[in-house]
């Protein structure tokens, strides 16, 4: 459309979205992708991969001192994940709003239409991830999509 042709000057933003192991395992991928596309995001890149312990620990380094860290790493390495770079105006905040609060169990009453309410189970197994800021989004995108230029990260997750 003409809107798309004139879009070059619009400030598009990119964020990292992830369908976590529980979301892939329980076949929520198609439903989640439908919400993504219906909400106006463009899937710029996507990849199925599996985090190893080093990769999950690096990705969630900000939580390394938390009591739930080892449980989180076990969960995040329990199976493949689908990572996607989503693009649209205000992508970071809009994707966080779509996924809903961290605790999927609480989300079922407070944010029943959120993705975590629909697909998640509890405070840990909440089926999806989203970058939380302008700082974390590019870091998380290059963690998965930085390619060979980012060196050591290649050893932290394996493309499937």
Binding site for ligand GDP (CB under 6 A): 63, 68, 71-72, 102, 123-124, 126, 129, 132
Number of H helices, E strands in the chain: 9, 5
Shortest Cβ 12–ligand GDP spacing (Å): 22
Tokens 């975590």 locate to 116
Shorter beta-carbon distance to ligand GDP: residue 56 or 156 = 56
Any known ligand binding at 96? yes
Any known ligand binding at 116? yes
Per the residue annotation, which of 4, 111, 113, 129 is the catalytic one?
129
Assign 120 to helix, strand or coil.
coil
Element (H or E) spanning 143, and its range? helix 136-145
User: Does 129 participate in catalysis according to the annotation?
Assistant: yes
What whole-number distance in Å separates Cα of residue 84 and Cα of residue 63?
22
Residue closest to Mg ion, measured at CB: 132
Shorter beta-carbon distance to Mg ion: residue 13 or 132 = 132
What whole-number distance in Å separates Cα of residue 127 and Cα of residue 149?
29
Shortest Cβ 114–ligand GDP spacing (Å): 11
Q: Phi, psi at residue 79, to the nearest 5°?
A: 180, 180
Residue 94 binds which one of Mg ion, ligand GDP, none, with CB within 5 to 8 A depending on kind?
Answer: none
Report the chain's terminal Cα–Cα distance, integer Å: 35
Structure tokens at 132: 């939380």
Active site residues: 129
Residue ranges of the binding site for ATP: 20, 68, 96, 102, 116, 126
Q: Which residues are part of a known binding site? A: 20, 68, 96, 102, 116, 126
Binding footprint of Mg ion on the chain (CB under 5 A): 132
């Amino acid at each position: 459309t003409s809107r798309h042709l004139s879009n070059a000057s619009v400030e598009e933003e990119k964020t990292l979205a992830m369908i976590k192991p529980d979301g892939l395992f329980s076949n929520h991928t198609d439903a989640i992708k439908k919400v993504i596309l219906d909400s106006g995001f463009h899937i710029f890149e996507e990849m199925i991969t599996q985090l190893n312990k080093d990769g999950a620990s690096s990705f969630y380094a900000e939580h390394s001192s938390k009591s739930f860290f080892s449980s989180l790493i076990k969960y995040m390495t329990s199976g493949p994940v689908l990572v996607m770079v989503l693009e649209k105006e205000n992508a970071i905040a809009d994707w966080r709003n779509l996924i809903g609060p961290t605790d999927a169990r609480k989300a079922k009453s407070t944010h029943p239409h959120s993705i975590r309410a629909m697909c998640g189970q509890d405070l840990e197994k909440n089926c999806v991830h989203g970058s939380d800021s302008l700082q974390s989004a590019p870091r998380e995108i290059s963690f998965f999509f930085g390619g060979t230029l980012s060196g050591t990260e290649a050893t932290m997750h394996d493309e499937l």
